[in-house]
């Protein structure tokens, strides 16, 4: 996009930022422009300085930290540093990566009102703004709720409501949908797009998972892991001209783009350009009615008539028939009619579920369903009244002492900071190994290998609390995996991760599963469920509503999927559309063979 001089809303000119003058810059000589009503995706691997750059654009850095900067950032032709704090808040709103870091009140309505009071909004106008912001974000019924009662996803919505109430012209979104369920994510993106079109809202979006944003964003700004600018310009041109670089740096590709590349090579997709959305992918498929055999082969679906031995070609995923294989095993952990209440409010209700060795169980459901509470129950860290029983190796969880239990069950918290107890990245991973009495030489080797795997080696001496959110998440996983427990419970393990580190993590979890361990993963990422889960449990309002294979879930009642606020992964959605086009039988419609492309 060529910008006219009078169309420039934000200008970043040769901007460099470091946390102190002697350290390497986090952002290194970056220049780009944002026009009014642009929707810019700020791309880069985890730890590349994207959030830091957002804080600089919002005027928080370097003022709020002991940082050193060089260069200029202009808003409507005027240096950011010349604006007062209240003026910037009126003009540039930001939803932080960690929403809790921007809260300071007790109730939802007080939190939204706080920013408006600072802007001296008249009381008669304030109430209407609060109502409007809470309605936009689906929090109207929570207006008088206490913040500590909200789930992580609901807190993320509240952070957005607080910003929208102030009606800024520029909105910076730092991974705004990371903790939202799939349907809430799509609704959130659609809402932002409507606001942008209605009020000329300008967007700067930091995000790793790009599928839902492809219909909104029109430009991209990309940075490498050293904080240097690699690209600014059109979104489609970025993927076309920077494929190899983006793959090496761990930039997620839109699912439709990845599928379109594969299918073009096989003569199935014939669109004029590589697709960025599911609609573009479907529109460019070459006559699926006549070429279903080839298309089914591309989807690796043996039930659709592909000739040859599917197992020999790797078409059948190893989890097919997994439930039958699990049935002959003894469970590691069993929930029997387990219920839990908090302050007389029922959170979990009569859950019965087994965890087997050698499986990856995904737990999904809407925000506020009780998924994080369930993870705490599995790890034995809940306090308060409960009914029913959770048993580990047939022995009630309540009868295990703390040390014994920690050797058997590991938990990665939704908020990684909740588990940090040391002052360096190295010591955080080494801690549990030292508790086990491992020799120091072996500790050093294992920690260094773990840090290399999670791209944390250069940060070994850093304080865990000084890391980016994505780096904190990787550290929390690395420190937990060092303990080698039999059951691993991970709450949103790929939150804030680029494609490389997410892939490394999931491959590691698969290896642990193959060693006979049980992996429980709470996630909103249905593509992860599709690729990696052996079974999936759907939790709604504290009740278990479904437990089975992912493929059985895809073919389940659409009413359940809607109630659980789930969406089909794009490959499954495409498969179903194409299956309907060629009038497949019910048996052929089951997407049992879809695997990773």
Asked if residue 555 and residue 436 are part of one domain, the reply reads yes
**Of 192, 216, 245, which one is at a domain's C-terminal end?**
245
pLDDT tier at 590, thresholds 50, 70, 90: very low
Asked if residue 276 and residue 168 are part of one domain, the reply reads no
End-to-end CA distance of the chain: give it in Å, rounded.
32
More confident residue, 303 or 80: 80
3-state secondary structure 449-493: HHHHHCCCHHHCCCCHHHCCHHHHHHHHHHHHHCCCCCEEEEECC
Pairing of strands 229-234, 409-412: unpaired
**Secondary structure element (H or E) that encloses residue 363, with its range:** strand 359-364
Asked if residue 535 and residue 461 are part of one domain, the reply reads yes
Domain count, the chain: 3
- pTM of the complete model: 0.84
Mean per-residue pLDDT of the chain: 85
Asked if residue 288 and residue 372 are part of one domain, the reply reads no
Give dist(CA 35, CA 2) in Å, integer.
10
Give dist(CA 401, CA 411) in Å, integer.
16
Asked if residue 396 and residue 436 are part of one domain, the reply reads yes
* pLDDT score, position 501: 85
* Domain enclosing residue 188, as ranges: 5-245
Asked if residue 33 and residue 83 are part of one domain, the reply reads yes
Angle at which helix 123-136 crosses helix 152-164, to 10 degrees, equals 140
More confident residue, 558 or 70: 70
Asked if residue 123 and residue 221 are part of one domain, the reply reads yes
* pLDDT score, position 584: 42
**Of 245, 271, 304, which one is at a domain's C-terminal end?**
245
* pLDDT score, position 596: 35
Sort 268 into a burial class: Cβ within 10 Å, 0-12 / 13-18 / 19+: buried
Asked if residue 278 and residue 191 are part of one domain, the reply reads no
- DSSP secondary structure letters along 271-296: -SS--SSHHHHHHTB--TTT-HHHHH
Asked if residue 443 and residue 294 are part of one domain, the reply reads no
**Of 220, 245, 270, which one is at a domain's C-terminal end?**
245
Asked if residue 275 and residue 210 are part of one domain, the reply reads no
* pLDDT score, position 580: 64
Residue 268 has pLDDT above 90, yes or no: no
Count CA within 13 A, CB hemisphere, residue 421. 7
Neighbours of 361 (CB within 10 A): 22
Average pLDDT value for residue range 173-179: 87
Residue 67 has pLDDT above 80, yes or no: yes
Asked if residue 330 and residue 295 are part of one domain, the reply reads no
Q: What is the CATH number of the domain that holds 181?
A: 3.40.50.300
Helix ranges (H only) for 101-231 are 108-118, 123-136, 152-164, 182-199
Give Cβ neighbours of residue 201 (< 8 Å, ≥ 6 apart). 37, 168, 169, 170, 171, 192, 195
Nearest alpha-carbon partner for 503 in 493, 512, 514: 493
Asked if residue 330 and residue 298 are part of one domain, the reply reads no
More confident residue, 26 or 180: 26
């Amino acid at each position: 996009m060529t910008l006219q001089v009078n169309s420039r809303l934000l200008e970043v000119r040769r901007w460099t930022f470091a946390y102190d003058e002697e350290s390497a810059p986090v952002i290194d000589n970056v220049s780009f422009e944002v026009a009014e009503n642009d929707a810019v995706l700020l791309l880069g691997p985890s730890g590349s300085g994207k959030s830091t750059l957002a804080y600089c654009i919002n005027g928080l850095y370097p003022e709020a930290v002991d940082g050193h900067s060089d260069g200029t950032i202009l808003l409507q032709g005027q240096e950011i540093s010349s604006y007062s704090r209240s003026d910037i808040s009126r003009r540039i709103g930001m939803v932080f990566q960690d929403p809790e870091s921007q809260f300071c009140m007790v109730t939802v309505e007080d939190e939204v009102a706080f920013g408006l009071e600072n802007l001296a909004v008249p009381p008669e106008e304030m109430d209407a703004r609060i109502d409007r912001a809470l309605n936009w974000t689906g929090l109207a019924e929570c207006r008088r709720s206490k913040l500590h009662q909200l789930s992580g996803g609901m807190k993320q919505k509240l952070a957005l409501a607080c910003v929208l109430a102030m009606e800024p012209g520029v909105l910076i979104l730092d991974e705004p949908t990371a903790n939202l369920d799939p349907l809430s994510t799509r609704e959130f993106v659609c809402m932002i797009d409507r606001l942008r079109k209605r009020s000329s809202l300008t967007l700067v979006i930091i995000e790793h998972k790009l599928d839902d944003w492809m219909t909104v964003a029109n430009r991209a700004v990309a940075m490498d892991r050293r904080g240097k600018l690699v690209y600014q310009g059109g979104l489609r041109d970025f993927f076309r001209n920077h494929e190899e670089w983006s793959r090496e740096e761990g930039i997620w590709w839109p699912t439709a783009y990845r599928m379109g590349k594969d299918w073009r090579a096989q003569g199935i997709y014939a669109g004029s350009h590589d697709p960025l959305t599911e609609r573009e992918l479907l529109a460019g498929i070459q006559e699926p009615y006549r070429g279903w055999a080839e298309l089914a082969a591309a989807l690796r679906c043996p039930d659709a008539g592909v000739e040859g031995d599917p197992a020999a070609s790797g078409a059948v995923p190893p989890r097919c028939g997994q439930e039958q294989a699990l049935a002959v095993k003894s469970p590691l952990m069993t929930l029997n009619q387990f219920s839990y209440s908090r302050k007389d409010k029922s959170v979990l209700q009569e859950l019965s579920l087994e965890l087997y060795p050698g499986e990856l169980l995904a737990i999904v459901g809407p925000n506020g369903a009780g998924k994080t509470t369930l993870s705490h129950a599995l790890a034995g860290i809940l306090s308060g009244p409960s009914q029913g029983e959770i048993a580990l190796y047939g022995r009630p969880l309540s009868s295990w002492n703390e040390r014994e239990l920690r050797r058997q069950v590991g938990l990665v918290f939704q908020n990684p900071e909740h588990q940090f107890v040391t002052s360096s990245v190295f010591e955080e991973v080494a801690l549990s190994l030292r508790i086990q009495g491992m020799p120091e030489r072996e500790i050093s080797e294992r920690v260094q290998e773990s840090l290399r795997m999670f791209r944390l080696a250069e940060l070994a001496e850093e304080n865990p609390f000084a890391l980016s959110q994505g780096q904190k998440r990787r550290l929390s996983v690395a420190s937990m995996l060092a303990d080698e427990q039999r059951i691993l419970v991970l709450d949103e393990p790929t939150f804030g991760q680029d494609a490389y580190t997410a892939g490394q993590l999931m491959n590691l979890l698969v290896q642990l599963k193959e060693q006979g361990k049980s992996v429980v993963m709470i996630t909103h990422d249905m593509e992860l469920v599709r690729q990696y889960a052996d079974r999936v449990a759907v939790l709604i309002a504290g009740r278990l509503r479904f437990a089975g294979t992912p493929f059985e879930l895809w073919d389940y009642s659409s009413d359940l999927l809607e109630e659980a606020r789930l969406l089909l992964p794009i490959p499954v959605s495409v498969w179903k559309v194409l299956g309907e086009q060629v009038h497949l039988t019910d048996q052929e419609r089951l997407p049992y063979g879809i695997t990773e492309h």
